[in-house]
Amino acid sequence: MTQTVESGRTETGRRVSSWLADFADAVSSGDAERAGALFAEESYWRDLVSFTWNLVTVEGPSGVAGVVSSEAARQVAPVSFEVTGEPTEADGITEAWLTFETAIGRGSGHLRLNSDGKAWTLLTTLDELKGHEEPRGDRRPFGTEHGANPDRVTWRERREAEAAELGYTRQPEVVIIGGGQGGIALGARLRQLGVEAIIVETNERPGDSWRKRYKSLALHDPVWYDHLPYLKFPDNWPVFAPKDKIGDWLEMYTKIMELNYWGSTTAKSATFDEASGEWSVVVDRAGEEVTLRPKQLVFALGVSGKPNIPAIPGQEKFQGEIQHSSQHPGPDAYKGKKVVVIGSNNSAFDICGALWEVGADVTMVQRSSTHIIKSDTLMEYGLGDLYSERAVAGGIDTHTADMIFASLPYRIMHTFQKPTYDKAREIDADFYRKLTEAGFDLDFGDDDSGLFMKYLRRGSGYYIDVGAADLVAEGKVKLAKGQITELTENEVVLDDGTRLEADLVVLATGYGSMNQRAADIIGQEMADRVGKVWGLGSDTTKDPGPWEGEQRNMWKPTQQDNLWFHGGNLHQSRFYSLYLALQLKARSVGIPTPVHGKQEVHHTS
């Protein structure tokens, strides 16, 4: 049986309810043609786990029909929908928030109907599995046992026993390799769902991946965008948090959320037994070799993998220091020194700015054009409607903001982003003019859609300006352009013949794909089976096709059974950790998970 609850008494509300009733009936009955006919020719259904056991965006009536006719959709029928709040209408588009229930779970979503009454965009997300709800709200644990009990086990004793046993006398369901914000956020989700997991991290303490970076590092995203699951930053938290403050927060969060965090632990190898469906993960835990045998293995390595450290002819002759930006300790030892920073994105600018502040003679080498957006402009025009004090005052909490952002399919997201960067070029015209006059090569992305699309497509190529760009524009940080051809005893030589004296060379040359890092642990053959990680297949710079519709191999099943990738910035770690955790929970309790639309492998680099 299917149903939908009426939304108010307005014509708009009745139109939305009628559409949802028709859609619910079509999905429940498996009528793929009827379901597809409810969508416009240009339309998008983005599903996060609820109907596909995958993260999938399908396009047009045929794509919708493909989902509805799939084994995954048949498994979750019947379906019921309810509109929450009153739909709104503007510029011929009707928008509505909705909740829904399937045979296996409960979810929420967002719908946009065009003036013809057909769907333009639909977002559906799985929020919880029936019978496996999180113990929160009115289901929270009691926390104590009243009365006398000679066999009482305290909270501390339970935690100590768990720490001693897990990974030794009993095995975790999940091993997460990587203990930055991604691994910690996923660990917290799994903990709440009752899935035992161990987080494996090379650094000693949670947050050390932030603490060990260059001294001037701070978040470039504002605080409202960066909360972790379950526990928001305090209301007096700075808008842009310094790295060590973030490190302390992650360490505190790990303790409060009771995560099994194995610091000073390096994953050496991982092999998968197809017959048993079990991994053998060999780790070095503070000098002790331990073999973990989880069912599921997750790489949580941020956006990127290993540092890109180019081999430079003549580097063995160079008498100064060479550091990758990830190894740069900060500026203090380099006062009065000549420093050449190779690169012109976030790390490069931050490092140049800090070095200039202590009195170093700094030259930035720009190898290709860079997108720059001033942080104040990004906050006001790019994020302010969703993630700001203004948004909070207007009733948009973090989850609502996340859902609005998620409701925009990647195929058309650039059209929503472009006005922000058109506005930036208008209001910051003098800033961009000075940079250009200084010789700096600027870009706003292949289609002028700016920061977010560059990040989603390639993970790099931008700088959120918190002041250092002015140093380049004013000539305080010198600018050179080109590629390094060699190092001499004390010089960096560029391809146009420019010779730059240097006591220190900082390689702000970015990172490789997570797939490359994973290959060191699971082997190149398995990594090749999975294929490229990150990017959309947009056929823009450094994001070759074919089009995927979602981030490649992120937060969803891969071509290698029981292998997953998780990460991204704090926002993505928070939001997508839920959907990955639900997929892992379903597998841990034996719920069938027929996957629709698993990503094919295209070997691009």
Domain limit, last residue, from 491, 507, 523:
507
- Residues 62 and 197 both lie in one domain: no
- Residues 352 and 492 both lie in one domain: yes
Question: Tokens in use for 570?
Answer: 């704090």
β-bridge pairing 105-113 and 55-59? unpaired
User: Chain-centre distance of CA 360, in angstroms?
Assistant: 35
- Residues 112 and 205 both lie in one domain: no
Q: CB burial class (10 A; 0-12, 13-18, 19+) of residue 458?
A: buried
pLDDT at 79: 95
Question: Tokens in use for 254?
Answer: 């790990």
In a domain, 594, yes or no: no
Domain limit, last residue, from 458, 476, 507:
507
pLDDT at 9: 61
Structural domain boundaries enclosing 89: 4-129
Domain count, the chain: 3
Q: Would you say residue 604 has pLDDT above 90?
A: no
> How many Cβ atoms from other residues are within 10 Å of residue 204's Cβ?
12
Condensed to tens digits (0 to 9), the pLDDT of residues 485-502 reads 999 999 999 999 999 999
In a domain, 138, yes or no: no
- Residues 499 and 521 both lie in one domain: no
Distance CA 578, CA 557 (A): 14
Condensed to tens digits (0 to 9), the pLDDT of residues 273-322 reads 999 999 999 999 999 999 999 999 999 987 666 788 999 999 999 999 99
Provide φ and ψ at 322, rounded to 5°: -125, 125
- Residues 418 and 494 both lie in one domain: yes
Condensed to tens digits (0 to 9), the pLDDT of residues 231-271 reads 999 999 999 999 999 999 999 999 999 999 999 999 999 99
H/E stretch holding 119 reads strand 119-129
In a domain, 61, yes or no: yes
In a domain, 600, yes or no: no
Contacts of residue 332, defined as CB under 8 A and 6 or more positions apart, other chains included, come to 215, 358
Distance CA 164, CA 167 (A): 8
pLDDT at 304: 60
Closest CA to 502 of 328, 341, 313, 263: 341
- Residues 183 and 110 both lie in one domain: no
Condensed to tens digits (0 to 9), the pLDDT of residues 124-155 reads 999 999 999 999 999 998 888 888 889 888 99
Q: Mean pLDDT, to the nearest integer, of 422-447?
A: 95
- Residues 496 and 556 both lie in one domain: no
Whole-model pTM: value is: 0.95
Condensed to tens digits (0 to 9), the pLDDT of residues 38-50 reads 999 999 999 999 9
CATH number, domain containing residue 49: 3.10.450.50
In a domain, 385, yes or no: yes
Reduced to 3 states (helix: H, G, I; strand: E, B; else coil), residue 388 is coil
Domain limit, last residue, from 507, 529, 548:
507
Report residue 570's pLDDT band, with 50, 70 and 90 as the boundaries. very high
In a domain, 599, yes or no: no
Give 590 or 221, the one with higher predicted confidence: 590
User: Chain-centre distance of CA 228, in angstroms?
Assistant: 12
In a domain, 193, yes or no: yes
Question: Tokens in use for 362?
Answer: 């700094």
- Residues 285 and 179 both lie in one domain: yes
- Residues 436 and 541 both lie in one domain: no
Report residue 603's pLDDT band, with 50, 70 and 90 as the boundaries. low
Contacts of residue 170, defined as CB under 8 A and 6 or more positions apart, other chains included, come to none
- Residues 30 and 114 both lie in one domain: yes
Q: Would you say residue 581 has pLDDT above 80?
A: yes
CATH number, domain containing residue 433: 3.50.50.60
In a domain, 206, yes or no: yes
- Residues 102 and 175 both lie in one domain: no
Contacts of residue 494, defined as CB under 8 A and 6 or more positions apart, other chains included, come to 365, 480, 481, 482, 483, 484, 485, 500
Distance CA 25, CA 44 (A): 19
Condensed to tens digits (0 to 9), the pLDDT of residues 52-111 reads 999 999 999 999 999 999 999 999 999 999 999 999 999 999 999 999 999 999 999 999
Q: Would you say residue 220 has pLDDT above 90?
A: no
Q: Would you say residue 16 has pLDDT above 50?
A: yes
- Residues 292 and 412 both lie in one domain: no
Q: Would you say residue 605 has pLDDT above 60?
A: no
